[in-house]
Structure 1
């Protein structure tokens, strides 16, 4: 993934110091607002355009392998949860997760952070936001007219859905011949989340609106990740240089 991240404000020079020096500096300023998460979405462009499914798989691969190489697993778990919250623009929740894990962000972004022992953790930008040149998948986002009518028949089944906007699990009854687009409409009726704001993932793959539930091959009890896009609202953004 290419490009530098344009971090417009100079939050702190300590990011250039060694881990030991930085650790000592942070220890004396744990409540300094300099080390709080920026309420901004970092904008960036991928060198190689990715589909949503490819990006999701890339993210899963990073989060699954990062703890095996360096740092503490509990910190990586906290960073992952904070990254999801920040992407959904729930910055208060993201900050609470970081605070609870004792993680400091000297430049205001999870891309480069430290735990209380001075251990450095670096999270790639692709885990924090979507590139501006994300590629639309043919089966990823269909119009309501193409996917609003369920196919008659099929067995009744219960899906377990994990919502990114609330970090909660909900159960929803659907039919095996329902399309994912129809399921999104049902979730909209049940939880009030507009279908156009939902992206469903299972096993690291994006579930297209035309895909039938039975074709997704979701075992009973397994969780489907539902990423809820935040409604568009004006706000500051940083662009890669």
Structure 2
């Protein structure tokens, strides 16, 4: 694994953030994946259920960031292999996708074009202060979510295609994914379109429930709509 891939190196590492970017600074670093789990402590103690949901939300939204979707898919597969302590498989996946690790860790990765990808620590290992869902001494706010009766909510969504603000009647238990479908039906959006919802500059994950997003009345959700285009090959 000492081969020079000529990938760029970027100073500064957003260990806890999900993003990718490009740099023009050359480097020759590419180390094998380290067979060790990163030790860390969460600012707010989480249960295994809450951390798993946080991980799912990251992988649901990661392809929306800069970078190739196939590279994100390979990083997800490598991360899953690491969670099972199968480092040989993880390394094979990284090699097959042309992904290099300057520090030997998935917190900083580069593809063959020099685009930088960052996997947050909480996707790579469990925190030292993980709490049990049955721990009676844990604070109520750290316990599993309690299912409550849905509350009707009215939200405003600004659609990038038209620039218009539309109103949606939703339930607090509706997921962002379900709300997107309701918006597509109500506004008759193209079938080949893809929606990304932002509130306060933050991308809302498809599995997030409307009630969990804590969006005050009359506040605006930005909906970026992209039309998926496919090349049609003519056959004789």
TM-score normalised over the length of structure 1: 0.46
The structure where helix makes up a greater share of residues is 1
* Bigger RCO (CA 8 Å, 6+ sep): 1
TM-score normalised over the length of structure 2: 0.47
